[in-house]
Amino acid sequence: MNYENILAETKDEILWITINRAAKLNALNKATLAELHDAVLNAQTNTLIGGVIISGSGEKAFVAGADISEFSSFNSAEGTMLAKEGQQNVFDLIANSTKPVIAAVNGFALGGGLELAMACHIRIASENAKLGLPEVTLGLIPGYGGTQRLTQLVGRGKALEMILTADMIDAAEAHQLGLINHLVTFEELLPTAEKLMRKILSRSPNAVSAAISAVNAALDSSKNGFEVEIEEFGKCFGTDDFKEGVAAFLEKRKANFKRN
């Protein structure tokens, strides 16, 4: 697939995805979502890719939401499909990615932009970040998982306050709430994301995937997370990563995990 709305470049095991519609503050139109789907799906099976870092182009916005101009004439059925397909094809795909996905939030992360960041496994934001779910100003509610993931990350009271008021919060408040993992300067944003990703990439790829799956199960009411943990834990023992990790420890050397 040719990308026109995102940049996707793999450098030394990291797939850097940049949402590249700066003139529209990187708003997620249908084409952008399709490209994101394609890039993240391909990353799952590409052995040259260990993890994904998502950011927005320019200094002003990570993503300022779903593209409002595209759904302005939608009816209920079309709105339902918009949310359903978006959740399945992009937001859940990212959340359930077997490879780690880090959001580097460089400015506005509003509506679908904050939902995109929240679907990622880890969020790092620069000091100019502004985060919010302003959908009620449009007569809507968040539709790409925002009501669920914001509640999981900051608790019901703060999630309701943010969603009902539509207010944006700044990066410092988001950090204090645990909505972002790290708060850094704009210059340090991508280097910090890369440093964190490189550390994760030095660990067992199989164990990293297993951990994502077990942690995600904690938030999935259709699963018993403790059982998923037992299952994933047991599966680890049958992997080359386990043999290498334990051998490296016993031989007092650094583990050299293979990506396959």
Among 15, 33, 40, 67, binds ligand COA (CB under 6 A): 67
Non-local (6+) Cβ contacts of 61 within 8 A are 22, 25, 26, 106, 107, 108, 109, 113
**Known catalytic residue at 161:** no
Distance of alpha carbon 53 from alpha carbon 15, whole angstroms: 6
Nearer to ligand COA, 15 or 109 (CB): 109
Among 35, 115, 135, 241, binds ligand COA (CB under 6 A): 135
CB 178 within 8 A of CB 153: yes
Distance of alpha carbon 109 from alpha carbon 116, whole angstroms: 8
Distance of alpha carbon 244 from alpha carbon 204, whole angstroms: 9
Strand partners, 129: none
Non-local (6+) Cβ contacts of 179 within 8 A are 118, 123, 131, 150, 153, 154, 169
Nearer to ligand COA, 35 or 232 (CB): 35
Distance of alpha carbon 250 from alpha carbon 231, whole angstroms: 25
Would you state the structure tokens that stand for residue 249, as one six-digit string? 């420890």
What residues from 105 to 124 belong to the interface with ligand COA (CB under 6 A)? 108, 110-112
Non-local (6+) Cβ contacts of 175 within 8 A are 125, 182, 183
Q: How far from the centroid of its chain's Cα atoms is residue 38's Cα? A: 15
Interface region with ligand COA, contact rule CB under 6 A, candidates 32-40, 74-82, 103-111, 233-241? 103-111
Minimum distance between the CB of residue 67 and ligand COA, rounded to whole angstroms? 4
What residues from 9 to 38 belong to the interface with ligand COA (CB under 6 A)? 24-25, 27
Interface region with ligand COA, contact rule CB under 6 A, candidates 1-9, 104-112, 196-204, 250-258? 104-112
Nearer to ligand COA, 131 or 201 (CB): 131
**Known catalytic residue at 173:** no
Strand partners, 105: 125
Minimum distance between the CB of residue 213 and ligand COA, rounded to whole angstroms? 30
Distance of alpha carbon 90 from alpha carbon 41, whole angstroms: 9
Interface region with ligand COA, contact rule CB under 6 A, candidates 1-9, 35-43, 134-142, 216-224? 134-142
Interface region with ligand COA, contact rule CB under 6 A, candidates 35-43, 61-69, 201-209, 242-250? 61-69
What is the residue type of 100? P
Nearer to ligand COA, 66 or 190 (CB): 66
- Applying CB under 6 A, does 64 fall inside the site for ligand COA? yes
Catalytic residue among 13, 70, 135, 188: 135
Nearer to ligand COA, 65 or 145 (CB): 65
- Judged by the rule CB under 6 A, the positions of this chain that interact with ligand COA are 24-25, 27, 64-69, 108, 110-112, 134-135, 138
Which residues does the annotation mark as catalytic? 115, 135
